Structure 1
Amino acid sequence: MGGVWERMVRSVRNILNPMLHEFGHRLDDEMYRTFLCEVEAILNSRPLTPVSSDSDDLDPLTPNHLLMLKSNVFIPPPGDFKQDDMYGYKRWRRIQHLANVFWSRWRKEYLVNLQQRQKWNHPKRNYHLDDIVLLKDEYLPRSAWSLGHITRTEPDKSGIVRNVKVKTKGTELRRPVHKLVLLLPSKSF
């Protein structure tokens, strides 16, 4: 019935409506179209699943791979775009600032939708070895997602996993489980 994409449209509208209410008068038609193209690139950069079954290959499959048939990742433009750019004369900087604002708001809402937060009345699945996870990192550039697989779990006295070691493309990190989003559970459990 289209519930998946309708939910995506709703989450985008919930972010775009206040942004356009606040900054819409500063955009003309061409700038609005450019901004929506930036929003489209952000939405289509979200990871769906790892590309291969090799646990060392942590490139995620994204809608951009399917739409453009390319494997390279969208790289945001260089520069630091601040609130002051909204009131300057450089239209490109204004669009890039709005795209960064959209990215930060949408990433927070999207990651929350992937995590199921329920009261701890019922036991839920612990993280296991070789689970594929997204790392919550607010310092990543626009349209970049850090994907990793769990190499070690650290349960507490009651057996609930609180911290894990995650292998990413370049390094191995120790992270608490509330900074992770389970993308693909391992096949062993």
Structure 2
Amino acid sequence: MPLGDVPMPPQPERHFHGKVEIILGNEWTAEYFDAEEASPPNDVPMIYGYACVVRGDYGYVTERDQARDGWSVVEGNFLEGETAEEFVTRSALEQTGANISQTLLIGYLDCRATSANEHYEKHFRAIRPMYVGVAREVGPVPEGSDYHRRRLPMNQFQNELRKRYSLLSDHFAKGLSRYTILERTGKLKS
């Protein structure tokens, strides 16, 4: 009897019924949602965001001139009335000198303020989107910017992300994998 004729019981689908809470300092707790599974809610404000700036096989990390606290992705606060794509475009240009041609939403953090948060009331809800910003070109960091940058091969870029964002690095890695697939198959805007 060939092996293909052996009846096999159906494999049950696995479901993770738990919730992983991400602690962002003393001030926020968050839950991660993948962009392929859920869209960010429109009724919750976006106040802070992250963007992995990439071009080809390279990623760009940035650091504040005064802080010297390690390399990070482009991150920061939203301006009033700014959309997530506008935030990525503006912040990438300010922090790395990159002109973004396309943004890819990785996912988002659904955050709640803790009692230690001095800027927002307890349980205030906010969204922190996580993006890959695909750069069309990368010029010098603009004059007067508080940042400097480094260009790293993708493997070193992901190592820096693991060092800086231990709780978020898996999500960044998944987004960078999506970017790599789209880039290799020619499905990115040029």
Normalising by the smaller structure, the TM-score range is under 0.3
Larger strand fraction of residues: 2
Q: Normalization by structure 2: what TM-score?
A: 0.26
Larger helix fraction of residues: 1
Q: Higher relative contact order by CA 8 Å / sep ≥ 6: 1 or 2?
A: 2
Q: Normalization by structure 1: what TM-score?
A: 0.26
